[in-house]
Every structure is written in C-alpha cells, then in structure tokens.
Amino acid sequence: MGTANVAVKSRAAPLQWRWPLVWASLLALCVLGMPHLEALFRLFEPDARQVVYTRASFATLLWRHLSVVAVAALAGIVFGVLAGIAVTRKRGRDFMPLVAQLASLGQTFPPVAVLALAVPAIGFGTWPIIMALLLYGLLPIVRNTLSGLLGVDAEVKTAARAMGMTPWQVLISVELPLAMPIILAGVRTSVTINIATAALGATVGASNLGDPIIAGIINNNTAYIVQGAVVIALLALTVDSLFDMLQQRLKTSRSAA
Amino acid sequence: MIELIDVEKRFGGVAAVEGISLRVPSGKVCALVGTSGCGKSTTLRMINRLIAHDGGEIRLDGQPIDSVDPVQLRRRIGYVIQHTGLFPHWRVARNIALVPRLLRWPKERIEARVAELMALLGLSFDELAHKYPHELSGGQAQRVGVARALAGDPDILLMDEPFGALDPLTREKLQEEVARLQSSLHKTIVFVTHDMDEALRLADHLVIMRAGRIVQQGSPLALLRAPEDPFVESLLGGLERGLKQAALMRVRDHMGSLGPSLPSASRISIDASLRQGLSIMLRDHAERLTVVDGKDVPVGELSLRRLIKETQWEQPTSP
Amino acid sequence: MTAISKEERTARQGSDKCFVPNIVLITLSLGLLMLLWSVDSVSIAPNRIVPGSGFMLWQALGLPGALLVSVLIAALAALALTPQKRFYSAQLIIIALLLLLMPFGLMVAGALLIEPDMPQARLGVSGGFWCLLFVMLLALVEVRLRLKLSRLWPALLLCFVAAVWWLCALSWLDHVALVQEFKARDAQFMRALQQHLVLVGVSVSLSVVLGLALALAMRRFSRLNRLGFALLNFVQTIPSLALFGLLLAPLAWLASQVPLLARLGVSGIGMAPALIALVAYSLLPMVRNTYTALDEVDEATLEAATAMGMRSAQRFWQVRLPLALPVLIEGVRITAVQAIGLATVAALIGAGGLGTFIFQGLGQAAMDMVLLGALPILVLALLVDASLGALAERLRPEGMQ
C-alpha cells in the first residue's frame, strides 16, 4: 500500500497555487491597507465624519470571522462525516432516513432564526453564531458524505472484502478515498455559504467582519458597508479557490492513477 | 425503397462517413454491420435526418429527403433505439400512441391501433398498457419500443442496435419475433448491429462498414461464400464461417429423398437448419438423419456426404 | 445461484421487518425520557425582563402528569420492540396525543406554579418542552416513512394540532410568555407577518419569472451562459447583510433624482432595496436549478422524441418540461426557503417583516420578543418547505419514481 501511495503522489500534478495566491494577497492588501484607502472611500461618503471603520482593526475582525467559520466547519465535518459513516454501516442503516431528514431540516431553518433562538438558550456572543453556522452548514456535508459513500460501487466493496480486508480497512482505504471528492465538494459548499452567513453574527454581538456592515447600515455609511463586504467577498473567494485547488489535485491524481 | 448515393458526412472537417452507396428495395431488410465507431449509426440517422448529410443524396421511393419537412419525414419512418428511448413519464399505451397522436388520428383509431400493436408484439394489454416504462422488463420495454415505431404504420423502419442491451435469450426471442413480424408486414427495414449472428439471421442484404466506408455488401450467403478481405472474414466468424453458412441453409432445400436402406433413428425437422443437422449428427454419431415434417412423418433424408456436398456447392470459389 | 441467494436475502429481510426492533424509535423515545427527567421543562419569570427560574417536568405537571407523559413515551418505545403495521399506527396515535396534550400541560403548569398574587408572572417554555416537540416531530417522520404514507397525512395532522394549540393559546394560555408577548402587539405582529409574506411572495415570484427567462435565454445563447453564471455567482459572494446595505445609498440617490420612482415607493430604505436584494439572491438557485433541470433530461429520450417526428415546441412542452419539472420546483423550494430567511435580515433596513421583532428583542434583551419573531419564521420556512416539497412530489411524473 505504501508503494502504491507513493506512486500516486509522484504522478499527481503540482498544486495550482495561482488563484489562491492572487485572492489571498488581494485580501491581505485590503485588510492591512484599509486605513490608507481613505481617499477612495471618501468618494462614497464625501460628508461623513469618518470613512474607514476603525473600531477594530480589519485583521482582528478577519481573524475572528475566520475562526468562527473554521470552528463551525470543523465541527460540521466531524459530525457530518461521522453521521454519514455511521448510517451507511449495517447497524446504523435504520437511522439513515432520519439523519437525511434532519440534515435537510438544518438548511430549512433560516440561520437568522436559529441565531435568534440560540441567544436565549446560550446567551450573546460567539457560541450562538457557531451553532447557527454548524446547523446551516451541516446539510451539504451530510448529504455529500451520504451520496459519496452510497455511490461507491458495491462490486468494489465486495472485491475489497473478498481480498480479506476488515470492514474498517474497507472504510479507510476504499470507501472514504473513493467518496472523498464528493465529500470535499460538500465541505466547500458548506464553508463558502458560512463565510457569508457568519456576518449575521454581528447582530448578536459576535464581533467579526459583519460589524462594519451593521455599523454602516445603522450610521448610513456606505463606505463601512463596502469595506465589510469587500473583505468578506475576498475571504470567500480565497477559501473557495483553495478548495478548488484541492479538488483539482484530487481529480488529476485520480485520473493519473 | 431507400437509396443512398455517394453519401458523405463530415464532423468538423473530418469525414465520419464517406462514399456510402446502397439500395434497400421495398420490403427488404438491410443490416449495417461493423465495429463501434465505423459510422453505421451515423449512416442510419442520416436517413431520418437526425443528422444532416453533407454530400451525395438520400432518396425514399425516389424522392430526395431534403425536399421533405424533416418532421413529416420522421413521422413516416419508424425508429427503434438501443435503450428504448421510451418516455419515462408516459404509460405504455401513451408511448405507443405517440406518432398516431402527432398525426392527429381520431381517438378510437388510436386506441384500436395500440391494442392491435400490443397484441401483435405479444404484450398483454390489460397487464401492461397502464404501466410505466420503468416497471417493464428489458424485453418488454424493447417490444414497446418496436410497437411505438410501428404505430404510425410507416413503410420504413430504422433500428439502431435494437436488441443490444438485452440478454442473449431475450435477444434471440425478439429477433425471432421481428423476423415473424417482417414476414407478414413487409416493411423496408434498415438496422444497425455489431452482432453478426443477428445480422445474418434477419437481413436480406448485409453491409459491412469500416472507418466510415462500406467494405463489402451483398446477400448474407454471398458474403459468407466470398469475403473480400480478412476484416470481413473475421467479422463473419473466421474459421466458423462454414457453420454460419450452414445455419443460413434450410434442411427443406437441401435434403435427399428417402433411400432404400433402413431409415436412421436420428430425426430432424424439415424446418431446421443444416447447422442443426450437423449438430445432431455429432451428438448421435449418425451419418444420416431422417427428415420429418410437422406431423413427425418421414419425408426425406439428410446424409453427412450430402451436407458437405451441398455446402461445397454453395462455396465453389473458396480455397 | 446468485438469484437464489438474492431471493433468500430479500425473504430474510422481509421477515426481519416484522421482528427486529425499530432502534430508531426506541433510541428517540428513551433519549427523550432521559431529557424530560433531567432538563427544565418550563420556567417562571416574575416579569418580562428578568430571566426566569426553571422547573422540572414533575414540578410542572405534578407527579401524576409527569408519569402519564412518561408512560406514553415508554409505550412508544415498547411498541417499537416488535414493529408491525398496526403498532406503527398506534404509535402515530400516541404521537398525536402527546402533541395535543402539550398546551394542556402548559395550562396545568400555569395553575400549579404561578401564585395567584403575581399577575405579572409569565410562564416560559424551556428545553424539555422543546425537546418533546422536536423529538415528536422526528418520530412522526420515522413513523411516516415506515407506514409509507405520503407527506400529506402528517401535514394534515400537524395542521389539526396547530389549530388546537392556537385555540388554547387564544383562550386559556394567558400566562405563557409568548402568548403575552403576542397579545401585547398582535396588530403589529399581523402587520409584520404580512410584510414578511409580501417580501417573500413578491421576490420569489419575480425571481421565478426572471429565472425561467434567464435560464431559457442562457440555454439558447451559450455565450450568455458563462457570463450569466459568473455574475450570479459573484452576487452570492456578497454577504446578504451587505447587499441590503449597499443598495441604500444608490436607491436614495435614484429616488432623489427621479421623482417618478420616488412616487412609486422607491427609496433608500424599506421595501425597494429589500426586494431588489432578495431577487438578486434568489436568482442564482432559481436559474441554476432551472438550467440543470432542463439540461439533465436524458439525451436518448429527447432524440427519440425528435426521431418520432415531434416538432421542437412539442418536444419542449411534452417531453423536456414535464421531465424537468420536479427539479425545477425543487429550485423554487430552495429559493423560497432561502428568501424567508433573508427577508428577516431586511428588517435591518426598515423593510419590516418578522425580523423586526428579532432585532428589537435582541436590542432590548427581551427574549420572548425574539421568540415571537423567530418561531413564526421557522414555522413559515417549514410550511413552505413541506408544501413545495409535496408539490414537487406530486408533479413528479408517476413513471419517474
């Protein structure tokens, strides 16, 4: 198995870093250079007292935003993939319809409403937004894990078992690798949606990139809104292109193998 | 009658099909045979203008097909495809009624036609008419596909690997069915297949294609007798060609009269093929077979010597 | 050989269905029992702002009431041990019974826990109660799937339950915080609900029409295809919050420059920017689903239609569209559910809607008011989701199941 892995890796195309690098450097420029762009934002709001959001540095906001999304995504991957694996095993199969239904319910619940319900339950701050994001992002992960694992050719699994693999080995070295592109696509959807959704956290006191937007709406300051929106959009594009790179890599290594 | 005269089709400058000339007289069956990608499907689909031809001329009963509205043309031509192409959202009856409805037949006539066709193809109306395609077996679905193609009572039937997706048993049964239908309906049929046995069984005229060109065409026996190059020979079964030829010959046409000697205990039906005769001889270690008619009455004799002579006579030029 | 073993296997599975316990329902009911006896079911607060103190199930209902509920739930688990069709029907009845008993439980709790000399006191609904509701809904889904019922019957059952709750709430549940909150601003609530529905209704119908037209145009002109999707994808990267905000200034400017638009109701804040943002967001799922729905129709089927002599219009209306319709409706469902959530945010730019209560409530730290906004939004989303899902199921040509 080790040699097979090496063979695949040596044949895989190099990672395509170009787009992630482009977006990431734009993002960095924007975040660090925001105070210097005052002249530009003056154009939006010629009369405002202040045109660049300064209550917190954009780097801090970005960090908070990113960590909220990352925690929610990690929890989503852990729960989603584990649930997907559990209900595709023989013993858990009875739970499959229920889990599928639950996951789709998660996406039916509007994140603002979940946020609003989470606040009375666990208070203001970061945790309600993490919970809301987790719920909202769970569906794509669970759905794709399910379809990925169910999509693995039954003959391939039979062959693996016939060769003497244990169920655990079948899962780890056959099913999961084969389902990986689909699972990854689910994680990508989930994370990209949640980067934009996380901005809502600003309405319940979780300080992140949504703050400038809320401040802009309240103070009628378009410049603030643009700043928040641009940074969030660049963040979304950066992360999305990273996922794209991973998917391309997975695809080329597959077709080469 | 279908005529193709020097027909050509190019896809992006590359010739997919070139110099195709063939004639299918009314009531005859023509098979286009070749390996995949040889242009046989393209040729077929040019006849009902699913694909437009770029050069040459295609005529139906002397009329160039370009002069007819393609929609009207297609309603006159039945079409059967490999994976049936049945509409999944329509029941069997509605699927069969498609072309009559397009032709705006009166309702009673359509209903009568559907019932007639289902009976003709051995499909139980009560059991199947109200089922959806996904509820049918492969064989049933393909029968419905044939029924649908015949519904508008077209003179011409085109079939694109009609039985390719079926298991061997079902396929053979449907081939028999089509042969039986053809003996009473006398449609002009062009069909595409890569199964040489199917082509030999059904076709009056065999067209062998390779790389977009016709390699050889003629009657099945003529081709078996004198394949023009190794490709055709290998398609025709190589070393088993003799058996294939014997399979095309009926005992009825090649038996001798009952001899004075004691009749053999091994029997063969008068409607069987010489190939089956040979097989029975091998099985029974018999050099002679008694030929019997439908009522099991002996009517003649088939001997190994005669069998060899008869097939030799059919194959005088072969080395 | 394989055929036989397959038959054997299905036969064994068939017998399995009768005798193997339904672990899903057992897990659900046992988990629920544990939760009910360990988590607060209701809370009592002396007034609107002060957080309440919690009470357990046996305190809220008295021991007999708590035991009754537990016995019913245990019966659910017991029936799941040897599931048969009639047992599932019995479980359906138990679930309905529990759902119907919930408002009466609140009445009992009110009578037991609220001192008569505290007119300001409010009964809050806490974790245990919500768990009961949630698990019952899950159990309902499971039983529905086992009984192979269509979505319609459970939906009707839930409508009946909701009607009973509504009646109870109007006449006897005055001490429940949510009801008090509602009664204090029922006119305002109705107006917000109406605004919300208008926002969602108008934006979804606009985007359905626009989305269909766009998808058809993109199918016809392949050059439009890339540009269109690039543009729609770009819109999606802008956070919804920001899109609402970004429209404020341009629209205010437009309204000040073109008086006609201002007279038509276009202004920087309110309905106009909210609708524009909602439509902009709704277009992508709508166009994408329409496009793929039309595109995914089996090529061979379409070719068969052509070969049989269908004209292109006949082929579109009789074959392509009917086959694409379920996926298309699915797009409408996704769009509508998403719009219900997004319309909530529109409250921030003065478009009204149920979001008003959420943001006001959050601002005043009045959680009951937040609930008054959030719960109807959830119910609305579920309702639209279920009904459009059922519609898609209905429209799915029977042969396609």
Question: B269 by DSSP, 3-state: which?
Answer: strand
In A, which residues are within 8 Å of C145 by CB distance? 97
Residues 3-22 of C with CB under 8 A from A: 22
Q: What is the pLDDT of residues A117-142, one digit of tens each?
A: 777 777 777 888 888 888 888 888 99
Confirm if B290 and B282 have CB atoms less than 8 A apart.
no
Average pLDDT value for residue range C317-331: 89
The stretch B12-37 carries a mean pLDDT of: 88
List the single best residue of B82, B83, B89 to mutate versus C (max C Cβ within 10 A). B89
Which one of C301, C306, C308 would you mutate to disrupt binding with B, by most B Cβ within 10 Å of its Cβ? C308
Q: Side by side, which strands form the sheet with B77-81?
A: B77-81, B156-160, B188-193, B29-33, B205-210, B213-218
The Cα B277–Cα B256 span in angstroms is: 13
**Are both C362 and C213 inside the same structural domain?**
yes
Question: Are C22 and C138 part of one and the same domain?
Answer: yes
Pairwise CB contact (< 8 Å): A120 & C24: no
- pLDDT higher than threshold 90 for residue B30: yes
**What length is written for chain B?**
319
Positive or negative, the Cα torsion across B270, B275, B276, B279? positive
Q: Are C95 and C143 in contact (CB under 8 A)?
A: yes
Interchain contact, A97 vs C141, CB within 8 Å:
yes
Q: Assign domain A18-32+56-256 to its CATH superfamily.
A: MetI-like (1.10.3720.10)
User: Which positions in chain C touch B50 (Cβ < 8 Å)?
Assistant: 303, 306-307
What's the pLDDT score for residue B76? 87
Q: Residue-wise over B99-123: b if at least 16 C-beta within 10 A, else e?
A: bbbbbebeeeebeebbeebbebbeb
End-of-domain residue from the set C131, C153, C177: C177
Domain B2-239 has CATH 3.90.1150.10: no
pLDDT band at C397 (very low <50, low <70, confident <90, very high): low
* C/A touch flag: 3 or more CB pairs below 8 Å: yes
Residue of C nearest to B91 (CA): C399
pLDDT in the model for residue C399: 60
The share of chain A scoring above pLDDT 90, in percent, equals: 18
More confident residue, A187 or C391: A187
Please count the other Cβ atoms lying within 10 Å of the Cβ belonging to residue C386: 17
CB contact, 8 Å: B88 with chain C? yes
Q: Residue A22 above 60 pLDDT? A: yes
The CA distance from C332 to the nearest CA of chain B, in Å, is 21
Contact call for C142 and A109, based on CB within 8 A: no
Residues in contact with C315: Cβ distance below 8 Å, sequence separation at least 6, in sequence order: C302, C305, C306
Instruction: Give residue C333's domain range.
Output: 186-400
Tell me which residue in A44, A101, A199 faces C241 most closely, judged by beta carbons.
A199
Is B15 a residue whose pLDDT tops 60?
A: yes
Q: Domain map of chain B by residue range? A: 2-239, 249-314
CA distances from C25 to C32, C66, C140, C146 (A): 10, 20, 10, 11
CB < 8 Å from A in window 141-160 of C: 141-142, 145
The answer to whether chain B touches chain A by having 3 or more C-beta pairs less than 8 angstroms apart is no
**Mean of the pLDDT values across residues C341-352?**
85
Domain spans, chain A? 18-32+56-256
C311: closest chain B residue by CA: B71
Question: Is 90 exceeded by the pLDDT of residue A183?
Answer: yes
Q: From the candidates A99, A112, A197, A218, which should be mutated to test the interface with C, based on the most C CB atoms within 10 A?
A: A112
State mean pLDDT over B92-104: 89
Q: What is the pLDDT of residue C10?
A: 44
pLDDT tens-digit series, residues B45-60: 899 888 888 888 999 9
Cβ atoms of C225 and C218 closer than 8 Å: yes
- Check: CB of residue C268 under 8 Å from CB of residue C252: yes
Residue whose pair of structure tokens reads 């067209």 in the numeric block: B207
* pLDDT value of position B191: 92
Contact at CB, A214 and C249, closer than 8 angstroms: no
The whole-number average pLDDT for the span B80-99 is: 85
Total tally of structural domains belonging to chain C: 2
Could C237 and A214 be called an inter-chain contact, meaning their C-beta atoms sit closer than 8 Å? Answer: no
Model confidence band, residue A255 (pLDDT cutoffs 50, 70, 90): low
Confidence band (pLDDT; 50, 70, 90) for B106? very high
The DSSP H or E segment spanning B156 is strand B156-160
> What are the structure tokens assigned to A254, written together?
């597959």
Residue C320, min C-alpha distance to chain B (Å): 10
Q: What is the mean pLDDT of chain A?
A: 82
Whether residue B81 lies within 8 A of chain C, CB to CB, comes out as yes
Say yes or no for a CB contact (<8 Å) between A108 and C349: no
Specify the pLDDT at position C61. Answer: 81
What's residue C371's pLDDT? 85
Q: How many whole angstroms from its chain centre is CA C93?
A: 23
Q: In the predicted model, what is the mean pLDDT of chain C?
A: 81
CA distance B52 to chain C (A): 13
Give the length of chain A. Answer: 257
Answer whether A113 sits within 8 Å of C249, measured CB to CB: no
Q: Which of C138, C142, C377 sits opposite A110 (nearest CB)?
A: C377
CATH of the domain at C351: 1.10.3720.10
Q: Please report the pLDDT score of residue B107 as a whole number.
A: 92
Residue C274 has pLDDT above 50, yes or no: yes
| Closest of B174, B183, B314 to residue B249, by C-alpha | B314
Cβ–Cβ below 8 Å for B132 and C399: yes
Helix (H) and strand (E) counts in chain A: 12, 0
Taking the model in full, what pTM does it have?
A: 0.77
Which pLDDT does position B158 carry in this prediction? 92
pLDDT digits (tens, 9 = 90+) for B257-311: 877 777 778 888 888 888 888 888 888 888 888 888 888 888 888 888 877 877 7
The answer to whether the Cβ–Cβ distance between C370 and A112 falls below 8 Å is no
The tokens for A253 are 């290594």
Residue B83 dihedral angles phi and psi, to the nearest 5°: -95, 35
Question: Which of A191, A71, A180 is closest to A139 using CA atoms?
Answer: A191
Determine whether the interchain pair C246/A225 forms a contact, defined as Cβ–Cβ distance below 8 Å: yes
d(CA B73, CA B215): 29
C382 touches A at CB < 8 Å: yes
Shortest alpha-carbon distance between residue C285 and chain A (Å): 13
CATH class as words, domain B249-314 = alpha beta
ipTM: 0.78
Instruction: Count CB neighbours of C39 within 10 A.
Output: 16
Q: What is the dihedral of CA C389, C345, A106, A241, to 10 degrees?
A: 100
Tens digits of per-residue pLDDT, A98-120?
888 787 777 788 888 888 877 77
Q: What is the pLDDT of residue C265?
A: 65
CA R_g for chain A: 22
pLDDT on residue B192: 92
- What is the pLDDT, as a whole number, of residue A145? 93
Question: Which of C81, C235, C241, C335 to substitute to test the interface with A, most A CBs within 10 Å?
Answer: C241
Are C92 and C220 found together in one domain? no
Question: For chain C, what percent of residues have pLDDT higher than 70?
Answer: 91
Residues C192 and C138 both lie in one domain: no
CB of B48 closer than 8 Å to CB of B58: no
**Secondary structure (DSSP) of C293-305:** HHHTS-HHHHHHH
Position C200 scores a pLDDT of 93
Distance in Å, alpha carbon of B268 to nearest chain C alpha carbon: 34
Q: What is the pLDDT of residue C400?
A: 59
Query: Which residues in C lie closer than 8 A to residue A202 (C-beta atoms)?
Result: 241
Q: What pLDDT band is residue C17 in, cutting at 50, 70 and 90?
A: very low
* pLDDT digit string, tens, across residues A221-235: 888 888 888 898 889
CB pair distance less than 8 Å for C309 and B132: no
Alpha-carbon distance of C63 to B101, in angstroms, equals 72
Size of interface A-C (CB pairs under 8 A): 132
pLDDT band at C53; cut points 50, 70, 90: confident
Of A192, A175, A176, nearest to A243 by C-alpha is A192
- Each residue of A60-96: pLDDT tens digit? 899 999 999 999 999 999 999 999 999 988 888 888 8
Nearest Cα to Cα of residue C151 among C391, C395, C361 = C391
CA distance C243 to C232: 13
Tell me, yes or no, if C350 comes closer than 8 A to chain A by beta carbon. no
Sequence letter at residue A232: I
Residue A153 gets which letter from DSSP?
-
Give residue C9's pLDDT. 45
Task: For residue A119, list chain C residues with Cβ-Cβ distance below 8 A.
Answer: 362, 367, 370
pLDDT at residue C80 above 80?
Answer: yes
Q: Do A117 and C371 lie within an 8 Å CB cutoff?
A: yes
| Residue from B3, B45, B41 nearest B24 by CA | B3
Q: Does C243 touch chain A (CB under 8 A)?
A: yes
pLDDT at B189 over 90: yes
How far is Cα C124 from Cα A142, in angstroms, rounded to an integer? 34
The residues near C265 (Cβ < 8 Å, ≥ 6 apart) are C271, C272
Give the residue numbers in A contacting C (CB under 8 Å), as ranges. Answer: 44, 94-95, 97-98, 101-102, 105, 107-113, 116-117, 119-121, 196-197, 199-200, 202-204, 210, 213-214, 216-217, 220, 222, 225-226, 228-229, 232-233, 236-237
User: In the prediction, which pLDDT does A85 show?
Assistant: 92
C246 and C291 co-located in one domain: yes
Q: Enumerate the residues of chain C whose CB falls inside 8 A of the CB of residue A44.
A: 249
* Chain A CB contacts of C382 below 8 Å: 105, 108
pLDDT of A213 higher than 50: yes
Q: Which of B87, B98, B102, B135 to mutate to test the interface with C (most CBs of C within 10 A)?
A: B87
Average pLDDT of span C110-114: 79
Q: Choose the mutation target among A30, A47, A108 for the interface with C, i.e. most C CBs under 10 Å.
A: A108
Amino acid at A216: G
Residue of B132, B144, B79 whose CA lies nearest to C306: B79
Same domain (yes/no): C104, C215? no
C77 plus C173 within the same structural domain: yes
Type and span of the H or E element at A178: helix A176-197
From C307, C298, C396, select the one nearest B89 (Cα to Cα). Answer: C396
HSE (side-chain half, CA atoms, 13 Å) at C291: 21
User: Chain C residue with minimal CA distance to B83?
Assistant: C300
Which residues of C touch chain B, with CB atoms under 8 Å apart? 298, 300-301, 303-311, 314, 319, 322-323, 397-400
Are C304 and C248 within one domain?
Answer: yes
C302 shares its domain with C247? yes
- What DSSP character marks residue B287? S
Q: Which residues pair with C279 in a beta bridge?
A: none
Is the pLDDT assigned to residue B314 strictly greater than 50? no
In the numeric block, the tokens 């899950």 are attached to: C138
Predicted pLDDT at C221: 84
How far is C81 from C327, CA to CA, in rounded Å? 38
Nearest residue of chain C to residue B69 (CA atoms): C309
